[in-house]
Copies of this chain bind each other. A is one copy, B any other.
Amino acid sequence: MKTLRVPEATVTRLSIYSRYLERLDRNGVTTVSSGEIAEGVGVSPAQVRKDLAYFGEFGTRGVGYNVKDLMRYTKKILGLDQDWPLILVGAGNLGYALCTYKGFNSRGFKIVGVFDNDLTKIGKKIAELEVLPMEKMPEVIQEHKARIGIIAVPPRAAQDVADFMVKNGLEAILNFAPVALNLPEGIEIRNVDLSVKLEILTFNLGFKSAQRL
């Protein structure tokens, strides 16, 4: 098998293209060019074509891309031709926000279990889902065949939660806690850090001020 490695930056952009295509489709647009996509998401046209080229030929020369088709292709490539059940740990404010986040549902993500070890939170309802104690996680994972977990707990608890998730068979983790998790080979892990981007902004603002001197 010819294993061409796809850059993660390309996958990231593919996700963005995909969502932009959904929007075009909702607006009734049927055809789009690489230049228009580029314009819409803020990259170069060549970048769009190069990214898509990793996965095949989806356009018609002289014409452009069929919006519906390309939307389906991109979703398929990203694995979004199926629904994904998600396990969430952490029923704090962030967990609550994630549970009710529309951007997940619209892409086929569905949180099927919310867990916490805080007794004051267990039993409460978040968007029609009861917060369960950690012990219940194994059966929920099995019931829904979940493969992905989300960590929305304070930093100090994150590693334990991750270990517990892996022990119970989850294969991929999205971590919102600002710590580096140590996980066995083969487990997919990505971090979403809410304050890093903010610090990039302050860095750039500081730099800008310095430039003015």
Interface residues of A (CB under 8 A from B): 8, 11-12, 14-16, 18-20, 40-42, 77-80, 84, 92-94, 96-98, 100-104, 107, 109, 147-148, 154, 171-174, 178, 180, 188, 190-206, 208
Q: For residue A147, which residue of chain B has the nearest CB? A: B205
On whether the beta carbons of B201 and A148 are closer than 8 Å, the reply is yes
Q: How many copies does the complex hold?
A: 2
Distance in angstroms between the alpha carbons of A190 and B103 in the assembled complex: 18
Contact of A200 among B103, B109, B190, B196 (CB under 8 A): B190
On whether the beta carbons of A198 and B104 are closer than 8 Å, the reply is yes
On whether the beta carbons of A188 and B171 are closer than 8 Å, the reply is no
- A180 — which chain B residues lie within 8 A by C-beta? 16, 20, 40-42
On whether the beta carbons of A197 and B205 are closer than 8 Å, the reply is no
Contact of A202 among B100, B148, B178, B195 (CB under 8 A): B148
**Further pairs besides A79-B203, A79-B206, A93-B101: 13, Cβ < 8 Å:** A11-B200, A12-B200, A15-B195, A19-B178, A40-B180, A78-B206, A79-B199, A94-B97, A103-B194, A104-B194, A148-B201, A188-B205, A190-B200
